[in-house]
Amino acid sequence: MADKFCYVDENLKVINENIAETADKCGRDINSFRLMAVTKTVAPEIVNHAVNLGLKLLGENRVQEFLSKQEIYDKSAEVHFIGHLQTNKVKYIIEPMSMIQSVDNIKLAKEINRLAIAHNKVMDILCEVNIGGEDSKSGVAPDRLRELLEQISEMQGIKVKGLMTIPPPSNSDIFLGRMAELFNDIKSTEIPAVAMDELSMGMTHDYQQAIKYGSTIIRIGTGLFGIRNYN
Ligand SMILES: *Cc1c(COP(=O)(O)O)cnc(C)c1O
């Protein structure tokens, strides 16, 4: 079993070396950020192998796929939702997820709030920002972010923990920098009941840059599990 999936061990070793080198270069403590394993299209047995290697944070993109794998998952891992989320699907993930990183509109926030209250929990969320202003991407526009955060801050069933982004791949460096600025700006002008503890950014192609720009959660799929057949 372990042998069959040993490419994950090898991949993780490379990532850990890169992380250590980058953290050292930019003077960050390696414990000041976390590595998330992004599991889309990956068989649950392989995900569990990664969990056994110490990857205790999983990122899920699709509600349906998560529901089909959930039973098999090692329960010692924490699971965050990171994909585009339709309002009518929130009910399936309100219990199993410990964070929803992809909140970008008030309608979705209201439904998360309603269901969280019904389940007697407070859901941690991140607001997803469309930092590159790309039509194809989810996320709130940077100039609408503060308004959204203020509206969500009133909701008893939600605790805002920070921001998430997927920058345009071709200009990652510039947009990671802009995202860091936006994050620090919001953080320094404190919004009551809104925490800016988490900045989720950095994927396989840009996680080292993201660490330099202050990411607290890097989300890696391909670099860990190999190339996917679909996205
Ligand atoms: C797929 C995905 C990732 C991981 O991307 P890789 O390039 O495979 O590392 C990270 N975040 C989100 C939101 C994703 O959908």
In the chain, domain spans? 6-225
Do residues 67 and 39 make contact, with C-beta atoms less than 8 angstroms apart? Answer: no
pLDDT at 231: 55
Rg (C-alpha) for the chain, rounded Å, is 17
Ligand 1 pocket by C-beta < 6 Å: which residues?
38, 40, 61, 82-83, 166, 203-204, 219-223
Residue ranges in the chain whose pLDDT is less than 70? 1-2, 230-231
Which atom number of ligand 1 is nearest to the Cα of residue 40? 1
Distance (Å, whole) CA 117 – CA 109: 12
pLDDT in tens, 145-179: 999 999 999 999 999 999 999 999 999 999 999 99
pLDDT at 177: 98
CA of 224 to the centre of ligand 1 (A): 11
- Give the CATH number of domain 6-225: 3.20.20.10
Nearest-CA residue for ligand 1 atom 7 is: 204
Which atom number of ligand 1 is nearest to the Cα of residue 231? 1
CA of 179 to the centre of ligand 1 (A): 17
CA of 124 to the centre of ligand 1 (A): 20
Judged on CB neighbours under 10 Å (0-12, 13-18, 19+), 135 is exposed
CA of 203 to the centre of ligand 1 (A): 6
3-state secondary structure the chain: CCCCCHHHHHHHHHHHHHHHHHHHHCCCCHHHCEEEEECCCCCHHHHHHHHHCCCCEEEECCHHHHHHHCCCCCCCCEEEECCCCCHHHHHHHCCCCCEEEEECCHHHHHHHHHHHHHCCCCEEEEEEECCCCCCCCCCECHHHHHHHHHHHHCCCCEEEEEEEECCCHHHHHHHHHHHHHHHHHHHHCCCCCEEEEEEECCCCCCHHHHHHCCCCEEEECHHHHCCCCCC
CA of 107 to the centre of ligand 1 (A): 25
